[in-house]
Structure 1
Amino acid sequence: MPPRVSKREYRGSACHRCHKQKVKCNKEKPCRNCSLTNSLCTYAFRDRKITVPESYLKHLEGGLARPEVPHGAVPRHISFEAADAAGQRSTQDAVPNLARQRFDVVVENSTAEQFVSKLKQIRDAKSSFCAHGTQSESLSGARTEESQLPPTPFAQYEYFELTFDTTPATCTFKLPPYPYVVHLLEQFSIYLGHDWHWFRPHTFHKKVHNTYKVAGSEESKDRVWLCKLLVVLALAESFDKDRQPEITIDLHGREEQSSADFGSSKSLRPPGLEFFEQALRILTLPYENACIDHVEILNMITQYSNQLNRQKTAYMYAGISARLCNTLQLHQVASSRDCSPVEREHRKRLWWSTYCLDRMTSTQTGLPPSFQVEQTDLGYPSDAEIPLNDANEFTDVEFLTARVQLTMIEENNLKSVPLIGRDDARDIETIVRPKLRRLHTWKEGLPSHMASELRNDARDNTDSQGAKRALANLHLRYNQCLILLLRPLLLRQVGCIFSKEESSVPQDDLKELNNICLKSARTNVQIMINMRSSDLITRLGFMENMHVFASLMIMCLAMSINAWRPGSFDEAQNDVNIYEAGKDILSYMMQCGSLAAKGHRNMLKEVEDLGIAIASEAGLAVDAGNHWDIDAWMTQLFENENTLGFPEA
């Protein structure tokens, strides 16, 4: 039993971690929960009453106070924290909230330049206060309000220039004909333009026109712009169904290609690769003097690297983009105070898109992210300040906002899932169900036109097609979050089958959660079927591959567990047909040249073999006789897919 806390050491509130997890804290230093998980245990400091001269408050009102997030910047319709309090907290508590969650960046505040800046602020404050109060009052007041002063920008300093900075290597490249570029930009808008904020579309199209139609234009000489254009063309061409390499399959299931093995140096090149390699050749990253255009380029390079199944490359480029966002201070409201409303919103949406891409690549590789959401004081994307004549610079704000908030929920879930211990029943009540409520609250708060997934209806114009695909991707991601949250429980059940143990979770509760997981997987496969019939599936799409594989894996294991213990899942009559249609999508994408689909197809075969072992007593006996370490195999399957080249979410 831990020692009792003395009266001197007693703290009136829970530590930060216990408060965030909504668990009871014994208020020691460190507390019991933090000790068990080897986590940092911190407490809030008690407020101190400090007398501040009235003149200093007026001085703050004159311009030194930190600007607040504009009213309405944080949407009311999503607050995943509210679910844990069963509706007791207002939805305005959604993150990010400037008043509650201001994040002090330790690295920035520890620089010598920042320290000298603080000294100057104290000196200036002392001069201002001398006529109205004592020196001690002035200094204490300056110290008290120090954290409310605007952030100091990166100091200007001298550095040695490199030849690389000013005279980049000369190279030549060819741009495609203008009509083909227009076609590719339409493809980009449909298949990718509505998911994230990549750039300002109207400005981008204007620059394309100047590049082709205006002789000697500035755009035709701008390496950064030309690099961005080439990356966009690479991504757009990868979506073009007429420009796909093929992998054929013989009757024995072996992958073949008539001219060469796909993926070898002599194979057919993936569509867009020529544009992509040209972009990389002319790309220079002046880290000492980077601009927002470089962030845009790096984000799109990250996306195309995923199309090539180059997961570590995508992770690296996403990390560089995140670092550039930090140097440009896109995460701080104060950094864009002098920008136009359009530019402010552009910077905000670009930061949130970079945050999501950073989270996506870190999750799929199992490596730490570069961003933490707590570091920003930005509100969610908003159209409130955008003039009507500039509305074409942005896509639907509600899609991006919903994706951002879902990414934050997923981040929170992935941090907590590893905390699940051996007490299944307790973990379900304290960890799983609160997170299910968060996801449910998020979906319930979606606008009416986003409440349901893609339907298999007639084709429409480019914008409508792009919105349909973005909506499908949004619901694919939502169901994937449910799968990732509940998948460890499925792993437990498989482990119990092979160890001949019984789960401590009541069967009714277990069946309820099983059905949520199976329904999410079934829905995702159906969405993918609808996307294919609407010709909205990207044949090299990394995310589509990951979603369909994760869903097929759940359906396969569910049917196998049901064969071993009937009634564990409520299967639908057409589950087998849906499963086969999903496998057909995976094979189709593999035939179109997707290396990710090829890997997932092989992995699915292993899961099916395991399913046979679960459903067949003879299979269990054979496997046990061969000393098959099923626990190690399943752990590798669920937790280390990325080391085998099979990405997670």
Structure 2
Amino acid sequence: MPASDKPDAISVPTHPGRPKRSQVSRACDWCRIHRVKCDDEQPCRNCKSRGAQCRAAGASEIRSLPHAFREIERLKRRVRELEQEVKKRDAAATASQPARVEYNARREGGDENQALSGFYISNSHMPQKQWFGPSSLFYFIGRITSHLAAFIEHPPAEYTIHFSSAGMPFTDGSGPESTQSTAEPPMDSQLAPGGHTYSLTAMQEEYFLSLFWQSFHSAFQIVDEGKFREHYKSLWSGHGVSRSIRKPSALVDIILALCMLSACPPRGDRSSSRPPADPDATAIAGRWHYQRCQTLLISELESPSLSTLQCHIFSVIYLCCASFQNMAHNTLALAMRTAHILGLHLEPPPDLPRSERELRKRLWWTLYTLESKTCIKLGRPWSASLSETSCSLPADDHQLAVESGSAALASGNVTWLTYTLQNTRLVLSARDVYLSFYGECSRVLGGSGGSNSNSSSIHDDPVVLESCATFLRSSMAHLDSWARSVPDGLRNKRKHGGEPLSANLNPSSSGTISLAIETFAPPWLQRQRLLIELLYHHLCVILYRPLISFSAPSHTSPLSDSQECAAACARHAITLTQITHQTLAETDLLDSWHEAFQWQWNAAITMIGFVLASPHSPTVQAARAAIALAIEGFEIFGRHFAAGPRAVKVVGELMGKVESLIGHGGRGQGEATDAAAVVVTGPMDTTWPALGAGGPDGILLGLEGAGLQDVLTGTMDVAFSVDSFNSFEWLQGGNLNSDGHWTFPMGG
């Protein structure tokens, strides 16, 4: 059949195909009830057109494996979207919205573990015993005393030391015989030349206030300089005689008192080895202004203001610098209650100007760090809890720095406000380690981990000691993390390639740490760099010090965790001492800075305890050299502080006794000590003289004859001088001039 005759293929008529029905995992309730088509939109088109609520009961249930995969992918996409939103939000808010506090507050309450032991002390003028906790220097001195008591023929019946002169009010520095409890002490001749009484003139007050702006203002950023100057100017407004007398102001008075306490001779006088004519009188030169400040504050107790809180904070600083530690601790409690009344522990109201909101934050966190440092130093509980705090950390951006003070951008992204932010983070990190460590010590002592579960000291059981040391080494990562996060502009550069903010003794420079001080950097920035590094090492010394053990073996190979912690404690004390000595020798940044003197005293006694406990440690030689530097530093401090010469005497004598003891093999634990390996060599021989040989009996008689107990008591005496040495007997009502201004006698 021809192809043309073949029938055509059957053609099927084509019609537009019905669109494939779109399926949904589950129709909404209305569409399912009415059996109509639904869709994946939310709300669906049917519900949207009728204006009804679109609900699907059980829509979130996974009914098939493909449905589960789709749901997983949807959730992953949503997570990525949210992460991107968070990153964008954080990047946009970094400068203006500071981070919230991220530190662990769980350990601050509710823990009923076994309480740790403390130490009771008193002195002849304050017979009531005072308690200091296991982190305090007093507790450490008590441990040294307890250890050395084994070498005293007639040790004291208890470890409560009664001091001979620690509680005496300072007058002319000549000791208890010259005490004048009711008469007004003489004023330093440099501060009050002449032979008559007078109130401070405007020029004299301006001099002391200029010291405040140069020093304390950069370290305690709680005053708006512009507003303060306006307030101060208004106090001198008047006519006639009233114009020559400033109106009373609690804030001005306490700032003047603080600066008068820290006033020091000019830079040109620092080379003189002669101390001021009356360093004790200089130390209490601002007492009239302090007392008037407290009198004026009485009327503000019921209705406090930010100015009231500023006065309380500066009062705490004044009392700490004057070594009234218990009064400072009490004033801290009053300041904290005032801050709570003002609501500073909460996020500032958003309707306030930003500069005022940030000032409130700096006030709160400055107070919080002050209390934390004080309580860690004294080993006592504190009253503020992070669990009740919602105030975010203060900002430090350039714009805020310009609005808040007289100093602007310094280097890179560092402003003068960065110090408060980093100082707060440092103290919060140290506080977190402190709570964690002592909570762990309490837990281990109260559990079954040690052979002596009824003990209140970690030093009574080697197992407990090592367990706590292991925990502390891991916890110190908090402070290591902080050190790495400090901006470069706030770091002290090191010579010889040393790592900033570390206690790594540089072998290339014989273990000596030397700062590369920037000569042309602003003085306030140089001081901020020094203070934040010295505080870092000081806190590390306090945290590591409990692991210095006088009962455990002094040296094993490899080193145990407790020995590693003890060595780390010594390295931080050595670093603090070397930095302080260099700064005192080359600059005037720490002249009359009381807190630096207290840090150095704490480090010096800690190093002596380390040498006594670990005479075979490789770090001992560096510690000995650092103790000699500390004595030189105390001599420089002695030109400004009455406690300086006493610290020189006590540290030298105590170190001499310790060297004599370990040089004769008398560590007290039956260890065979090689005298040649531990006796100081070189120039140190003239600093720590040996007491002679003669076997154990000779050691005992030599130490007894040399007055070891007197040295120990003197150590506590100076510790009280540094940390709590005065009385306010000279602050009598008769010293207050009812005319509204203050007078004081002039030194002859």
TM over 0.5: yes
From 555, 558, 570, the equivalent of 1:518 is: 570
Shift in CA distance, 399/75, structure 1 to aligned 2, threshold 3 Å: farther
Residue 489 in 1 paired to residue 547 in 2?
yes
From 538, 549, 552, the equivalent of 2:604 is: 552
Residue 434 in 1 paired to residue 478 in 2?
no
> Residue 149 of structure 1 corresponds to which residue in structure 2?
none
Q: Aligned partners of 2:259 and 2:282: how far apart in 1?
A: 18
From 419, 434, 439, the equivalent of 1:414 is: 434
Q: Aligned partners of 2:699 and 2:660: how far apart in 1?
A: 14
Shift in CA distance, 229/256, structure 1 to aligned 2, threshold 3 Å: closer
Q: Aligned partners of 1:256 and 1:447: how far apart in 2?
A: 39
> Residue 322 of structure 2 corresponds to which residue in structure 1?
308
Residue 237 in 1 paired to residue 260 in 2?
yes
Q: Aligned partners of 2:90 and 2:398: how far apart in 1?
A: 11
Residue 445 in 1 paired to residue 497 in 2?
no
Q: For the aligned residues, what is the CA RMSD?
A: 4.7
> Residue 193 of structure 1 corresponds to which residue in structure 2?
217
> Residue 353 of structure 2 corresponds to which residue in structure 1?
340
8 Å contact 1:556–1:608 — kept in the other structure? no
> Residue 301 of structure 2 corresponds to which residue in structure 1?
287
> Residue 476 of structure 1 corresponds to which residue in structure 2?
534
> Once the 2 structures are TM-superposed, how far is the Cα of residue 220 of structure 1 from its aligned partner?
11
From 250, 263, 269, the equivalent of 1:227 is: 250
> Once the 2 structures are TM-superposed, how far is the Cα of residue 387 of structure 1 from its aligned partner?
5.6
Q: Aligned partners of 2:698 and 2:350: how far apart in 1?
A: 65
From 200, 209, 221, the equivalent of 2:233 is: 209
Larger radius of gyration: 2
8 Å contact 1:545–1:597 — kept in the other structure? no
Deviations 1:54-104 (A, max 9, x none): xxxxxxxxxxxxxxxx9689979xxxxxxxxxxxxxx9785269xx99x99
8 Å contact 1:73–1:382 — kept in the other structure? no
Shift in CA distance, 219/345, structure 1 to aligned 2, threshold 3 Å: farther
> Once the 2 structures are TM-superposed, how far is the Cα of residue 600 of structure 1 from its aligned partner?
8.1
Shift in CA distance, 416/644, structure 1 to aligned 2, threshold 3 Å: farther
Q: Aligned partners of 1:310 and 1:529: how far apart in 2?
A: 26
Deviations 1:156-215 (A, max 9, x none): xxxxxxxxxxxxxxxxx9763333333323311232222222311222123223434676
**Counterparts of residues 85-100 of structure 1 (less than 5 Å):** 95=102
Of 519-528 and 358-367, the range deviating more from structure 2: 358-367
Q: Aligned partners of 2:559 and 2:283: how far apart in 1?
A: 52
Shift in CA distance, 568/469, structure 1 to aligned 2, threshold 3 Å: same
8 Å contact 1:456–1:531 — kept in the other structure? no
Aligned residue type for 1:612: S
Deviations 1:580-622 (A, max 9, x none): 2321221332353334774685367435523432332268535
> Once the 2 structures are TM-superposed, how far is the Cα of residue 299 of structure 1 from its aligned partner?
0.6
> Once the 2 structures are TM-superposed, how far is the Cα of residue 281 of structure 1 from its aligned partner?
3.8
Aligned residue type for 1:507: L
Residue 354 in 1 paired to residue 367 in 2?
yes
> Residue 329 of structure 1 corresponds to which residue in structure 2?
343
Aligned residue type for 1:320: L
Q: Aligned partners of 1:468 and 1:368: how far apart in 2?
A: 33
Residue 317 in 1 paired to residue 357 in 2?
no
> Once the 2 structures are TM-superposed, how far is the Cα of residue 476 of structure 1 from its aligned partner?
0.7
Deviations 1:124-179 (A, max 9, x none): xxxxxxxxxxxxxxxxxxxxxxxxxxxxxxxxxxxxxxxxxxxxxxxxx9763333
Residue 594 in 1 paired to residue 653 in 2?
no
- Residue 527 of structure 2 aligns to a residue whose secondary structure is helix
Shift in CA distance, 622/323, structure 1 to aligned 2, threshold 3 Å: farther
Deviations 1:458-504 (A, max 9, x none): 7558xx112211211111111112212221222x1x223xxxx5788
Q: Aligned partners of 1:623 and 1:371: how far apart in 2?
A: 53
- Residue 197 of structure 1 aligns to a residue whose secondary structure is coil
> Residue 42 of structure 1 corresponds to which residue in structure 2?
none
Deviations 1:298-328 (A, max 9, x none): 1111111122211111111111111000111
8 Å contact 1:560–1:615 — kept in the other structure? no
8 Å contact 1:190–1:469 — kept in the other structure? no
Deviations 1:236-295 (A, max 9, x none): 222321399x9xxx9xxxx99988xx76xxx66633334333333433243221111100
State percent identity of aligned pairs.
Answer: 14
Aligned residue type for 1:592: H
8 Å contact 1:459–1:534 — kept in the other structure? no
8 Å contact 2:375–2:381 — kept in the other structure? yes
> Residue 589 of structure 2 corresponds to which residue in structure 1?
536
Aligned residue type for 1:407: V
Q: Aligned partners of 2:602 and 2:251: how far apart in 1?
A: 33
Aligned residue type for 2:478: R
Shift in CA distance, 597/197, structure 1 to aligned 2, threshold 3 Å: farther
Calculate the TM-score normalised by the size of structure 1: 0.60
Aligned residue type for 2:551: G
Q: Aligned partners of 1:316 and 1:227: how far apart in 2?
A: 19
> Residue 619 of structure 2 corresponds to which residue in structure 1?
569
- Residue 289 of structure 1 aligns to a residue whose secondary structure is coil
Shift in CA distance, 381/258, structure 1 to aligned 2, threshold 3 Å: closer
**Counterparts of residues 48-447 of structure 1 (less than 5 Å):** 95=102, 176-212=200-236, 226-242=249-265, 270-333=284-347, 336-383=349-396, 390-392=403-405, 396-418=416-438, 419-420=440-441, 421=458, 422-423=462-463, 424-429=465-470, 431-447=471-487
Structure with higher RCO (Cα < 8 A, 6+ apart): 2
> Residue 115 of structure 1 corresponds to which residue in structure 2?
none
Q: Aligned partners of 2:595 and 2:642: how far apart in 1?
A: 11
Residue 581 in 1 paired to residue 629 in 2?
yes
> Once the 2 structures are TM-superposed, how far is the Cα of residue 534 of structure 1 from its aligned partner?
0.6
Q: Aligned partners of 2:294 and 2:99: how far apart in 1?
A: 44
User: What residue ranges of structure 1 are gaps of 5+ in the alignment?
Assistant: 1-69, 77-90, 105-172
Aligned residue type for 2:258: L
Calculate the TM-score normalised by the size of structure 2: 0.53
From 595, 615, 621, the equivalent of 2:663 is: 615
Q: Aligned partners of 1:513 and 1:325: how far apart in 2?
A: 37
Shift in CA distance, 174/373, structure 1 to aligned 2, threshold 3 Å: farther
